[in-house]
C-alpha cells in the first residue's frame, strides 16, 4: 500500500547547495515575531492599569504578519492544491478565531479592573475674609510757634546777635506730618484811640512748601529793621493815643495723611522802636505797672490780640505827598 504525502518543499524552491530558501527564512521570522507580539499583548494587559491599546496593536500586528506570510507562501509554494487549501484554511482559521478571541480577552481584562469609587467630596467650607482693622484715627497736628511766653532780646552782639533780628521756630510736637504751604509775617503798628486800629506796614510771604515731620522743627527769621522808621513816623503822626508795633505770624499747614488744612498763629510785640526785644502776651513786658488812671496811655499786646483776626480793624499805612510854598515835596505817613 502506497501512501502519498505532500512534498514539504516544492521543486520551485529546492536548492541544490542545501541552503534555506526565502520562504523558509520568512516562515522562521514569522515563527519568532508572531509569538513575540502575542507575548507583548499578554504582558501589557497584565499591567495595572492595563495598556489595552498596546495589546490590541500587538494582536492586530501578529494577525497581519501571519496572514500576509500565508498569502506569500500560497502564491509561491509548490504544494498540491489539496495541501495548499488545507494549510491555508488552517492558517485562516487560526487568524479568524485567534484574533477575535484575543480581542475579547483584552476587553474582559479591561472590565475586570476595579475602578475605585470617587472620594467623597469634602463639604465646602467658606472662610470669611478677615475683617479689616478700622483705620487708625488721625490726630490733629500740633505746631507751636516758638518762643512762647517769653521775652527775647537781640542786644548781645558778642553772641552774634543783630538788633532787630530774631529767630523763631515752627515746632511740630504732634504725631502727624504736615506740609507748611504758606508762612506769613505781617508787620503792623497798632493804634489805640476810641478803638484799636491795626495798620499793615508790610507782609513777608513764603509760599515755598516745606514738609515738617512729626517732632521736627523749621527755623524762621524775623527782621524788623526795614520797618522801624515807618513805625516811628506813623506813631508820631498819631495823636489819638498810644501805639504798639509788632508782627503777626500765620502758618498754614496741611496734614499729609488726608490733606486737611490747619492754621497756626502767634503774635509778638516790639518793646520799643529800637527793636531791642520782642515779647509774647502775658509776659512782664506786656503788663502795665501804672495807676489805673494812666493805663489808657499804654497799649499792651494782650489788648491787640483779640483784633488780629478781625478784617474790620485792619487798614494800610497812608502816605500823603504835599508841596510847600518853596516847591519842596513833603511826605507824611499815617
pLDDT of residue 143: 92
> Looking at residue 268, what is its pLDDT?
94
First to last CA, the chain: 169
Torsions phi, psi of 298, nearest 5?
A: -125, 150
Give pLDDT, residue 17. Answer: 56
**Parallel, antiparallel or unpaired: strands 143-146 and 196-206:** unpaired
Quick: pLDDT tens for 234-280: 999 998 889 999 999 999 999 998 889 999 999 999 988 888 899 99
Cα dihedral sign, 45-47-52-54: negative
pLDDT of 2 reads: 43
Cα atoms in the 13 Å half-sphere on the side-chain side of 45: 22
Which class is domain 143-333? mainly beta
Residue with cell 529546492: 14
pLDDT band at 52 (very low <50, low <70, confident <90, very high): confident
The predicted model gives 38-52 an average pLDDT of 73
- Is the pLDDT score of 333 beyond 80? yes
Q: What is the pLDDT of residue 171?
A: 92
Report whether pLDDT(224) > 90.
Answer: yes
Give residue 99's pLDDT.
Answer: 73
Average pLDDT over residues 290-317: 84
**Positive or negative: CA dihedral 150, 151, 157, 158:** negative
263 DSSP β-pair partners: 252
Mean pLDDT (the chain) is 81
What's the per-residue H, E or C state across the chain? CCCCCCCCCCCCCCCCCCCCCHHHHHHHHHHHHHHHHHHHHHHHHCCCCCCHHHHHHHHHHHHHHHHHHHHHHHHHCCCCHHHHHHHHHHHHHHHHHHHHHHHHHHHHHHHHCCCCCCCCCCCCCCCCCCCCCCCCCCCCCCEEEECCCCEEECCCHHHCCCCCEEEEEEEECCCCCEEEEEEEEEEEEEEECCCEEEEEEEEEEECCCEEECCCCEEEEEEECHHHHHHHHHHHHCCCCCCEEEEEEEEEEEEECCCCCEEEEEEEEEECCCCCCEEECCCCHHHCCCCCHHHHHHCCCHHHHHHHCCCHHHEEECCEEEEECCCCCEEEEEC
Least confident range from 100-109, 220-229, 235-244, 308-317: namely 100-109
CB–CB of 190/299 below 8 Å?
yes
Burial class (CB within 10 angstroms; exposed 0-12, middle 13-18, buried 19+) of 266: buried
Burial class (CB in 10 A: 0-12, 13-18, 19+), 2: exposed
Residues 312-328: pLDDT tens digits? 989 999 888 878 777 77
**8: pLDDT confidence band, cut at 50, 70 and 90?**
very low
pLDDT digit string, tens, across residues 131-167: 777 767 888 888 999 998 889 988 777 777 888 899 9
Quote the Cα angle for 109-112-113, to 5°.
Answer: 100
Q: Which residue has the higher pLDDT, 171 or 112?
A: 171
Contact 210, 220 (CB under 8 A): no
| pLDDT recorded at residue 202 | 93
What's the whole-number mean pLDDT along residues 117-138? Answer: 74
pLDDT of residue 18: 59
The residue-averaged pLDDT of 286-291 equals 70
304 versus 133: the higher-pLDDT residue is: 304
Amino acid at each position: 500500500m502506497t501512501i502519498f504525502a505532500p512534498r514539504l518543499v516544492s521543486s520551485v524552491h529546492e536548492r541544490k547547495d542545501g541552503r534555506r530558501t526565502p520562504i523558509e527564512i520568512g516562515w522562521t521570522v514569522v515563527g519568532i515575531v508572531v509569538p513575540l507580539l502575542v507575548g507583548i499583548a499578554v504582558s501589557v494587559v497584565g499591567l495595572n492599569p492595563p495598556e489595552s491599546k498596546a495589546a490590541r496593536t500587538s494582536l492586530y500586528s501578529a494577525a497581519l504578519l501571519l496572514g500576509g506570510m500565508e498569502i506569500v507562501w500560497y502564491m509561491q509554494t509548490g504544494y498540491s492544491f489539496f495541501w495548499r487549501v488545507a494549510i491555508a484554511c488552517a492558517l485562516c482559521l487560526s487568524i479568524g478565531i485567534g484574533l477575535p478571541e484575543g480581542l475579547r480577552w483584552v476587553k474582559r481584562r479591561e472590565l475586570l479592573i476595579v475602578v475605585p469609587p470617587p472620594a467623597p467630596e469634602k463639604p465646602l467650607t467658606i472662610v470669611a475674609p478677615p475683617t479689616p482693622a478700622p483705620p487708625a484715627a488721625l490726630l490733629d497736628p500740633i505746631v507751636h510757634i516758638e518762643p512762647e511766653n517769653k521775652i527775647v532780646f537781640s542786644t548781645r552782639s558778642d553772641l552774634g546777635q543783630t538788633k532787630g533780628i530774631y529767630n523763631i521756630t515752627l515746632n511740630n510736637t504732634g504725631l502727624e506730618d504736615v506740609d507748611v504751604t504758606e508762612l506769613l509775617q505781617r508787620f503792623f503798628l497798632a493804634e489805640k484811640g476810641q478803638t484799636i486800629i491795626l495798620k499793615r506796614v508790610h507782609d513777608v510771604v513764603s509760599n515755598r512748601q516745606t514738609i515738617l515731620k512729626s517732632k521736627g522743627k523749621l527755623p524762621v527769621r524775623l527782621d524788623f529793621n526795614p520797618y522801624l522808621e515807618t513805625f516811628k513816623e506813623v506813631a508820631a503822626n498819631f495823636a489819638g493815643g498810644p501805639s504798639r508795633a509788632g508782627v503777626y505770624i500765620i502758618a498754614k499747614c496741611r496734614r499729609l495723611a488726608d490733606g486737611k488744612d490747619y492754621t497756626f498763629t502767634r503774635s509778638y510785640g516790639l518793646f520799643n522802636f529800637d527793636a531791642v526785644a520782642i515779647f509774647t502776651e502775658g509776659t512782664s513786658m506786656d503788663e502795665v505797672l501804672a495807676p489805673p488812671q494812666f493805663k489808657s496811655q499804654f497799649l499792651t499786646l494782650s489788648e491787640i490780640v483779640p483784633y488780629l483776626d478781625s478784617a474790620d480793624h485792619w487798614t494800610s499805612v497812608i502816605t500823603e505827598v504835599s508841596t510847600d510854598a518853596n516847591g519842596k515835596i513833603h511826605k507824611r505817613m499815617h
